[in-house]
Amino acid sequence: MCSREAYELYGVSASCYDELYGFEQYDKYSYVYGRGYRAYGLVVDIGCGTGLFLEFLSKNKGFYDRYVCIEPSIGMLEKFLDKKLDRDYRVLVINSLWEYCPLASSVADRVYAFTVWDNVSRKEEAFKELVRITACNGVALVSFLKVRMEHDRFELMELAKRYGVDVEFIGCNRHDCFIVLKKKCT
């Protein structure tokens, strides 16, 4: 679990987060979309921050039935709600850690976790939650810092093997590397 200080830092940076990291985040979203991993159905955005991915979906005619934002930082959520929500009844905002995802099992068609993996200390619990909430034939996409590629890639591949999830490394852009998990149906 991230430290309280880290959440407070994200809360403090919320007012300027979009200006500091917006371009970088959009670059990650475009990379994923360019490889065919578009949003649809019930979308879960783990570590949604100020709502940049939702903004990207709106600008790029992204389709979703429901968009669930999971974010532990109150400051980030406040900016999300103040600036981005736009009273869309399909958007649900949840203040929670990834490891304690309060969603039912097998509900998410698409799960995105952009550059959150490196902030999680209870990684196995987070991974189990990711698999648990992903629907049969659903896809979860996890990105991690490019500088940690060898370590994080190996860690995610091992967890996928342990929990019986198909995994594919789809490469890196300038900032992050990307793993796609596909939940098997039985």
* pLDDT at residue 94, rounded to an integer: 95
Tokens (6 digits) for 125:
């619990």
Report, as an integer, the average pLDDT of 85-95.
Answer: 83
CA 157 to chain centre: 17
Q: Where are the domains of the chain?
A: 4-159+177-182
Residues 25-77: pLDDT tens digits? 999 999 999 999 999 999 999 999 989 999 999 888 778 999 999 999 988 89
* pLDDT at residue 82, rounded to an integer: 81
Burial of 142 (0-12, 13-18, 19+ CB in 10 A): buried
- 168 versus 80: the higher-pLDDT residue is 168
Tokens (6 digits) for 28:
């990650």
Q: Are residues 78 and 51 in contact, defined by beta-carbon separation less than 8 angstroms?
A: no
Q: CATH number of the domain at 4-159+177-182, please? A: 3.40.50.150
CA distance 141 to 130: 10
CA distance 48 to 50: 6
Res. 17: pLDDT tops 80: no
Report, as an integer, the average pLDDT of 82-99.
Answer: 83
CA 122 to chain centre: 16
CA distance 144 to 172: 9
Q: What is the residue-averaged pLDDT of the chain? A: 88
Q: Work out the percent of the chain whose per-residue pLDDT is above 90.
A: 67
Question: How many other C-beta atoms lie within 10 A of the C-beta of residue 169?
Answer: 13
Helix (H) or strand (E) holding 180: strand 176-182
Phi, psi of 137, deg, nearest 5 = 70, 10
Dump the DSSP string for 112-164: EETT-GGG-S-HHHHHHHHHHHEEEEEEEEEEEEGGGHHHHHHHHHHHHHHTT
Residue 185's identity, in one-letter code, is: C
The pairing of beta strand 134-145 with beta strand 176-182: antiparallel
